[in-house]
Amino acid sequence: MQPVDFEYTSLEPSGESNVESIQSNNIAFPANTSLFTLCFVICFYLVIPLARNMDYAISIPILVGMYSLFYFIMVKIFQASVSIDENGVHFKSFGLRDFTLNYRDIKSVTPNKYAKPSIVFMAAMLIILAAMLAYSVISGEWQLIITIALLLPWFLLVKHKQDRKYHDLDTQLYIEYENKKWYELTAYYSIVTDEMTASGIQAAIEHYRR
C-alpha cells in the first residue's frame, strides 16, 4: 500500500481543539474525467473521417498533434489538488481551472462510497477496441489501424502516470454549494479521494463553516 499524500497543519493553539489546514494531491475530479471524455469523443469522430481521405504524410502529424493535446489536458488533470484553510476550499485544476470556494457558499458536505469501474465494464471496452481493430484489418482500413496504433503508447503513458499518482480512491465527497452558475449542470462539486483525506476535508469544512 502506498503512503497517503495528505498534509495536516494545526491552526489552533496547544490545548484547544485540533483543527488542521489540509492539502492533498491524491484527488480526482469526476468533472475532469467527463470533460476529457467529451473532448476525446468529439475530436476522435471529427478527425477520423478526415484522416481516411488524407495522405499519411498529413494524417499522421494531425493525429500526433491531437494526441499531444490530449496528453497536455491529462497533465493538467493530474495536477488536481484540494487545500483547505481559513480563507476557503481551494480547488486546483477542477475543470482545468483554479478557484476558491467560500465557506458561506457551502450548504453541505456528503461522503459516499466511490463505485469504481467494474472489471466487466473494462473488459467490454477492451473487447470493443479489439473488434474495431479486427474489422479494420479485415476491411483494409489502415487509417483506423494507424489511429489505434498511435493511441496505444499515449494510453500506456497516461496509465503509468495515473497508477503512480492515485491510490486508495474509495470515497467520493459531494460539496453542495449556493449561487449555482447558469452554465453549471449541478450544484455539487464532486471529489474522489481516499477515506482518510475525505474525513479530514469534511471535518475541516464543517469547522470553518461554524
**Bridging pattern class, strands 188-193 and 106-113:** unpaired
Average pLDDT over residues 46-75: 78
What pLDDT score was predicted for residue 200? 92
What pLDDT score was predicted for residue 2? 46
pLDDT in tens, 29-41: 999 988 888 888 8
d(CA 143, CA 166): 34
What pLDDT score was predicted for residue 52? 66
Percent of the chain residues topping a pLDDT of 90: 30
d(CA 14, CA 10): 9
Q: In what order do the strands lie in the sheet with 6-10?
A: 6-10, 20-24, 81-85, 88-94, 97-101
SS3 of residue 209 by DSSP: coil
Amino acid occupying residue 134: A
SS3 of residue 116 by DSSP: coil
pLDDT in tens, 35-59: 888 888 887 777 767 766 777 777 7
- In this predicted structure, the answer to whether residue 103 has a pLDDT above a threshold of 90 is yes
Name the residue ranges covered by the structural domains of the chain. 6-208
Confidence class of residue 67 from pLDDT cuts 50, 70 and 90?
A: confident
CB atoms within 10 A of CB 115: 8
Rg of the chain over Cα atoms, rounded to whole angstroms, equals 21
- Mean predicted lDDT score pLDDT of the chain: 79
- In this predicted structure, the answer to whether residue 94 has a pLDDT above a threshold of 50 is yes
Confidence class of residue 25 from pLDDT cuts 50, 70 and 90?
A: very high
What pLDDT score was predicted for residue 204? 92
CB 175 within 8 A of CB 89: yes
Grid cell at residue 149: 496504433
